[in-house]
Amino acid sequence: MFSRITGTGSFLPGAPVSNDDLARRGIDTNDDWIRGRTGIRFRHLADTGQTASDLGFEASRRALDAAGLQASDLDLIIVATSTPDFIFPSTACLLQGKLGNHGATAFDVQAVCSGFVFALTIAEKFIRSGSHRRALVVGAEVFSRILDWNDRGTCVLFGDGAGAVIVEASDTPGILSTALHADGAHHGILSVPGSVCGGKVTGDPFLRMDGQAVFKFAVRVLSEVAAECCDAAGIASSEVDWLIPHQANIRILEATARKVKMPMDKVIVTVDRHGNTSAASVPLALDEAVRDGRVRSGQKVLLEGVGGGFTWGAVVVEM
């Protein structure tokens, strides 16, 4: 028993918000400063009251349509998010209710920006075990809710959005290899170090990041896990048709491509228009590339994520 991606979908809330729009909102920044350091030109921000499950619902509906399935066909729903609707129930259960599915296994995965890669890997294991046959895997984030809008070093980097894929049992391999890792010793360089206790926020409820430390760590582990995953799939990196890494920063994407010896014209880039959408970034980029015809059936795609924890992982997929 193997597993294969049979449909993709994505959703971005509202109109694009430009760097100049942020400056007009009173943030001490400008387009040259943001673009020069990150490559980001736009991002999308959810409206007040718009939740991760709302964004995930729209992306899921489009993925189901692409796969030719109904929500009732699903027996597994996994949502990767760091910005859940509630403490509980899980965003996956809330999404399940909105889709009208009854009885499928549903749960969340929290691995921050690696979340979608973790969730896709978990779905693949469920399907290969024979216990499940059709899975919905979603990355959905409303990071705008956890940003300190007075910290221009972080607030300009992130956006909101959702991406989804349908994974189905198959007689032929589609997901060729996976690799997941974590090292909690590095938790301090990227975190939201707060919580709720007794009805009050304790600690710091905003995202905090050591940008230089994250950059160095991300480039190293992304290149290492790419090689690991290609080796496990029995292919050379030159056989990969497309690299879709987590969309954090154009400099990280360029440095990772150099390390794995892939030209930038084989790297799917959406960070310029979406910003960093955390667990949503990889499925958003994959869906865009599928729908515009770049990623085609039979091609090999390397998906990669790295995020707070620290967590990192990769999946090699034959579409």
Q: Which residues contact 249 (CB under 8 A, 6 or more apart)?
A: 37, 38, 39, 40, 157, 215, 271, 276
Within 10 angstroms of residue 131's Cβ, the number of other Cβ atoms is: 12
Annotated active-site residue in 113, 155, 229, 230: 113
Measure the CA–CA gap between 125 and 316, rounded to whole angstroms. 14
- Tell me the angle at which helices 281-291 and 52-67 cross, rounded to the nearest 10 degrees: 30
Measure the CA–CA gap between 261 and 195, rounded to whole angstroms. 41
User: Is the CB of residue 78 less than 8 Å from the CB of residue 107?
Assistant: yes
Both tokens of residue 125?
């294991």
Task: Look at residue 299 and give its three-state secondary structure.
Answer: coil
Active site residue 113: yes
User: Is the CB of residue 194 less than 8 Å from the CB of residue 207?
Assistant: no
Q: 17-18 and 208-209 as β-strands: parallel, antiparallel, unpaired?
A: unpaired
Q: Read out DSSP for 241-256?
A: SEEE---S-HHHHHHH
Burial 55-68, CB ≥16 within 10 A → b, else e: bbbbbbbbbbebbe
Which residues are tagged catalytic? 113, 246, 276
